Structure 1
Amino acid sequence: MKITKKNGRKTEVDKMEYLTSEKWHDDATISAYVRWINAMCPTVNSINTLQKTEELYTPYRTTFCMPKISDYSYTKVQAINKNNNTRYDAMETVITFANGDKVTVSCPIEEANQYTGFYTAIAKYAMGNSNKVNNAADYWINKFPKQKAKTEEKARRLKEQAKNIKRKKERRLQKEREDMEAKRLADKYKIKLIANKKYGVPLDFEP
Structure 2
Amino acid sequence: MKTIKKNGRKIEVVKMKYLTSKTWFDYASTSKYESWMAAINPIVNSINTLQKTEELYTPYRATFCMPKISDYSYTKVQAINKSNNTRYDAMETVITFANGDKVTVSCPIEEANQYTGFYTAIAKYAMGNSNKVNNEADYWINKLPKQKAKTEEKARRLKEQAKNIKRKKERRLQKEREDMEAKRLADKYKIKLIANKKYGVPLDFEP
Q: How does 1:59-98 map to 2 (within 5 A)?
A: 59=58, 61=60, 63-83=62-82, 84=85, 86=87, 88=89, 90-96=91-97, 98=98
Give the deviation of 1:47 after TM superposition.
Answer: 6.3
Give the deviation of 1:136 after TM superposition.
Answer: 1.9
Does the 8 Å CA contact 1:74/1:114 hold for their aligned counterparts? no
Change (3 A) 1:190 1:157: same
Cα distance in 1, alignment partners of residues 188 and 41 from structure 2: 81
SS in 2 for 1:143: helix
Query: Which one-letter code corresponds to 1:126 in the other structure?
Result: A
The superposition leaves residues 167-192 of structure 1 with CA deviations (integer Å, 9 ceiling, x where unpaired) of 11111110001111111122222223
- Structure number with higher strand proportion: 1
Give the deviation of 1:115 after TM superposition.
Answer: 1.4
Give me the identity figure in percent.
66
Cα distance in 1, alignment partners of residues 114 and 187 from structure 2: 89
- Map of 1:102 onto structure 2: 102
Q: How does 1:105-124 map to 2 (within 5 A)?
A: 105-124=105-124
- Structure number with higher helix proportion: 2
Cα distance in 2, alignment partners of residues 204 and 120 from structure 1: 91
Q: How does 1:1-207 map to 2 (within 5 A)?
A: 20-21=18-19, 22-32=21-31, 35=34, 59=58, 61=60, 63-83=62-82, 84=85, 86=87, 88=89, 90-96=91-97, 98-207=98-207
Q: TM-score, normalised by structure 2?
A: 0.69
How many pairs does the alignment contain? 187
Query: Which one-letter code corresponds to 2:93 in the other structure?
Result: E
SS in 2 for 1:20: helix
Cα distance in 2, alignment partners of residues 76 and 167 from structure 1: 63
CA RMSD of aligned residues (A): 3.5
